[in-house]
Every structure is written in C-alpha cells, then in structure tokens.
C-alpha cells in the first residue's frame, strides 16, 4: 500500500472515530471595515498604521504628483528597477538609471540595484499592509521587490480598504501574493520588534489621495 493510501485510510478511520459532524462556521465578525474603501478616513488610518511600522508615507493629490514624489524619495539612489507594466511617466523625473524587469533581470543584477518602484493591488488600513500581486504588470515578479534594499510602493486611495476580509475579497490567489507591512523586521531578539533584516530595509509609500470632491 502506498503512503498516500495508508495516510488517507488512517485519517478516514480516525475521523470517523473522532467525529465527522461538520459544524456551521459563524461569520459574524466584521466583513466590512469601519471605514468605506477609498474614504478619507481609511486613507488616514492607513497612513497611521504604515507609519507606526516605520514605513514613510508621502501623499500626493493626483497622478501628476507621483513622478516628483518618486524622484524625491529616490534622490540618493543611482539605480532602480521597475516592473514591466509600471507607468513610464511615474519614473519621468527620476535621475537614477531605470532598469525594466523585461526581460527578467538576474538575481545578481537585482542585488546591484538600489531600489524598486511598484504599484500595489490593495492596501489594508487596519493593519498597515499592502499586497503585491506578481501577475499584475505594475507589481511584477516577487524577486524585484525583495532583493533591492529600498522599496517605493505607489498606492491609489481607491485601492485602500479598511479590513483584512475586504482585501482578501479583492484578491485572487492565482499567482503569488506578498503581503507587506512595513520594512523587514524581526521580533527574535527579546521579542521586541526591530526593523531591517533580509527584505528591503527602507520602505516609502506614495499615496495618491485626490482632494475631496
């Protein structure tokens, strides 16, 4: 008998002995957040939670403000990588050398680059999190946002939700997803959080927040 058959047989027998009644799962937790998606309050809370975990937030009023904001945070960088579908105009004012990940750069190449600029699929205000979808052209494959030491992420207010359930409802797990909450950190020394380990040690978020109509 194969291991597969034996393990499944054991589990079936054990399950039947221990009980096979399927419980109803109560879903009376909040499935919508306290603030409406894209609302000023959601964006405000996201700013607080991102900042709390040592990301730096830069607000711009519209898409036209993005190039200057990105250029400003990349002022000290000499090279930057961008996913294939990142809008070219966003990098229009950057003085650093821009490398598109198309064709894909080697890991060694990525290691020589100072920074990466990506978009994001969704951001979660409650937790200070944004999610990168590797299948989205403006976010790109996972390695590009991992190896460079400085990550600049552009987030639109419309993509900001309050809660984790709202974010997951907007995401399809077809491709790799990376949930990012602040720069890399560890709690492994005396269970206190310190920032800066293997992932990017510097995290800048450019938030596009249109003035309220």
Partner 1 sequence: MTTDLGMPTVASDPHGHLRGTEPFPVAAHRALADTQLRQNLGHATRTIRAKRAAVVGEVDDWEELRRAGECVKADVMARLPELLEQLEASVTARGGVVHWARDAEEANRIVVGLVRETGSDEVVKVKSMATQETGLNEALGAAGIAALETDLAELIVQLSDDKPSHFLVPAIHRNRSEIRDIFLREMPDVDPDLTDEPRRLAMAARAHLRRKFLSARVGISGVNFAVADTGTISVVESEGNGRMCLTLPDTLITVMGVEKVVPTWSDLEVFLQLLPRSSTGERMNPYTSSWSGVTPGDGPQTFHLVLLDNGRSNVLASPDGRQALHCIRCSACLNVCPVYERTGGHAYGSIYPGPIGAVLSPQLTGIDGPDDVNASLPYASSLCGACFDACPVRIDIPHLLVQQRAAAVEAHGRPTAQDLAMRAAAAAMASPGRFSLTERVVKLGRLLSRSGRIRSVPGPGAAAWFGARDMPEPPAETFREWWGRRERS
If one asks whether residue 170 binds partner 1 (CB under 8 A), the answer comes out as: no
If one asks whether residue 75 binds partner 1 (CB under 8 A), the answer comes out as: no
Query: From the list 189, 211, 212, 213, which residue makes contact with partner 1 (rule: CB under 8 A)?
Result: 189
How far is Cα 27 from Cα 168, in angstroms, rounded to an integer? 15
Residue 178 has a CB neighbour count (10 Å cut-off) of: 16
If one asks whether residue 84 binds partner 1 (CB under 8 A), the answer comes out as: no
7 or 72, CB closer to partner 1? 7
Looking at the chain, how many residues does it have?
213
If one asks whether residue 188 binds partner 1 (CB under 8 A), the answer comes out as: yes
Q: Are strands 185-189 and 150-156 parallel, antiparallel or unpaired?
A: unpaired
Query: From the list 92, 135, 158, 170, which residue makes contact with partner 1 (rule: CB under 8 A)?
Result: 135
94 or 147, CB closer to partner 1? 147
Query: From the list 40, 53, 71, 87, which residue makes contact with partner 1 (rule: CB under 8 A)?
Result: 53
The number of C-alpha atoms within 13 Å of 112 and in the hemisphere containing its C-beta is 7
Report the site for partner 1 in 137-156 (rule: CB under 8 A).
Answer: 141-143, 146-147
Closest of 122, 117, 98 to residue 180, by C-alpha = 122
Query: From the list 29, 75, 211, 213, which residue makes contact with partner 1 (rule: CB under 8 A)?
Result: 29
25 or 213, CB closer to partner 1? 25
How far is Cα 156 from Cα 83, in angstroms, rounded to an integer? 17
Closest of 27, 28, 30 to residue 125, by C-alpha = 30
Q: Report the phi/psi class of residue 37: left, alpha or beta, with left for phi > 0 and alpha for psi in -120 to 50.
A: beta
**CA 46 to chain CA centroid, nearest Å:** 13
If one asks whether residue 180 binds partner 1 (CB under 8 A), the answer comes out as: yes
CB of 103 to partner 1, least distance (A): 10
If one asks whether residue 39 binds partner 1 (CB under 8 A), the answer comes out as: no
Query: From the list 65, 87, 104, 210, which residue makes contact with partner 1 (rule: CB under 8 A)?
Result: 104
Coil/strand/helix, residue 128 = coil
């Amino acid at each position: 008998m194969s291991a597969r058959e034996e393990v499944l047989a054991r589990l079936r027998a054990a399950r039947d002995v221990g009980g096979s009644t399927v419980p109803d799962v109560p879903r009376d937790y909040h499935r919508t957040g306290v603030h409406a998606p894209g609302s000023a309050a959601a964006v405000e809370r996201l700013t607080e939670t991102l900042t709390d975990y040592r990301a730096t937030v830069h607000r711009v009023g519209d898409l036209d403000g993005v190039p200057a904001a990105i250029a400003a945070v990349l002022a000290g960088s000499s090279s930057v990588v961008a996913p294939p579908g990142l809008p070219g105009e966003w990098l229009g004012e950057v003085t650093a050398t821009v490398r598109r990940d198309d064709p894909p750069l080697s890991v060694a190449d990525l290691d020589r680059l100072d920074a990466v600029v990506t978009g994001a699929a969704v951001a979660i205000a409650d937790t200070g999190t944004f999610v990168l979808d590797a299948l989205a052209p403006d976010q790109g494959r996972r390695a590009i946002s991992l190896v460079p030491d400085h990550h600049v992420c552009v987030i639109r207010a419309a993509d900001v939700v309050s809660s984790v359930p709202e974010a997951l409802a907007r995401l399809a797990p077809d491709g790799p997803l990376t949930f990012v909450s602040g720069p890399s950190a560890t709690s492994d020394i005396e269970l206190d959080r310190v920032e800066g380990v293997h992932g990017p040690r510097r995290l800048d978020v450019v938030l596009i927040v249109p003035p309220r109509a």
